[in-house]
Amino acid sequence: MRDHDLPALERRSRGKSRFDDDEPQFLKRGRPTEPLADPDSEPDPDTGERWSSWDDAVHGPHPHPAWLVTELAAKDTELGVLKTGKEADVHLVRRAVPDTDRSCLLAVKRYRDPEHRLFHRDAGYLEGRRVRRSRENRAMAGRTAFGRQMIAGQWAAAEFAALARLWEIGAGHDRIAVPYPVQLRGTELMLEFVGDAESGEAAPRLAQLRPDPGELRDLWAQLVEALRVLARAGYAHGDLSPYNLLVHQGRLVVIDLPQVVDVVANPQGPEFLARDVRVVGAWFAARGLPAEQVDPAVLTGELLHEAGLR
């Protein structure tokens, strides 16, 4: 990946934030920090199509996957809602080049309008993500309309950047599966659709499954490895549960990372990490995995060691 395409999330000196949102690299190129006003953004009333927004968005890591449609002649068609949430809704979109067989499905995460978003627990997550300009700091602290928009932008940018970093890590020798981050445009994040490309059916969440003992052990092993990779990168998921882990063709996929926590820069980082372990460990233990395999204290200690905190 070229340095100017994405913000660097490599580990810096101890105690220094990796989430410095004062003009991150991909916004220094003049990218907008709020949704764009585009006369072509409204769908055609007859077909539901709109022109692809690829040309005015921040792109995911290079090389782009072969399945991804990047042609500027492509059009996006809304196919429905995959998930609604307190902070964002996820839509299913087909991006296709007319009169060709080039198409792909995308999951499009749209953070809610600042007047309707619920910032119910954001203070703890935002520690370690600093904006140096005092006006923005005051607006965020006071939850003004502008401040809420700034926070929404931070969530989108943080999730995009973390997914980009983890995608690159997962493409190497470390084992972690995340959706490919296709593009970021304001507070709209386009991601790889994880599921059946023919039917448009999303992969089930871990919470929906009742795995047999062998599958349970394999999924736990995948999860522990993913947590180790996150910790080595300096991250805790921050809100990990069986509801933001997908299982696609036997592969565990980590999703929903807007609240990703820097375990070094955030004073509460180790607590977020410990909570992640407790929540998912309890789910596996309740489904029959031996308690000694899911001991939260042991795994948390190992992960803190991976993060360089022990």
> Is position 46 annotated as part of the catalytic site?
no
What does the chain look like in DSSP terms, one character per residue? --TTTS---S--STT--S---SS-HHHHTS--SS----TT-SPPTTT-EEE--GGGSEE-SSSPPTT----TT-EEEEEEEEEE-SSEEEEEEEEE-TTSS-EEEEEEEEEPPTTT---SSHHHHHTT-----HHHHHHHHHT-HHHHHHHHHHHHHHHHHHHHHHHHHHTTTS------EEEEETTEEEEE--EETTTTEEPPBGGG----HHHHHHHHHHHHHHHHHHHHTTEE-SS--GGGEEEETTEEEE---TT-EETTTSTTHHHHHHHHHHHHHHHHHHTT--GGGG-HHHHHHHHHHHTT--
- 269 vs 304: CA distance, rounded Å: 10
Phi, psi of 107 (to 5 degrees): -95, 125
> Is position 276 annotated as part of the catalytic site?
no
Candidate list 21, 76, 256, 276, residue with the active-site label: 256
Exposure of 113 in the CB half-sphere (CA atoms within 13 A): 2
Candidate list 21, 76, 239, 262, residue with the active-site label: 239
Which residues are marked as active site? 239, 256
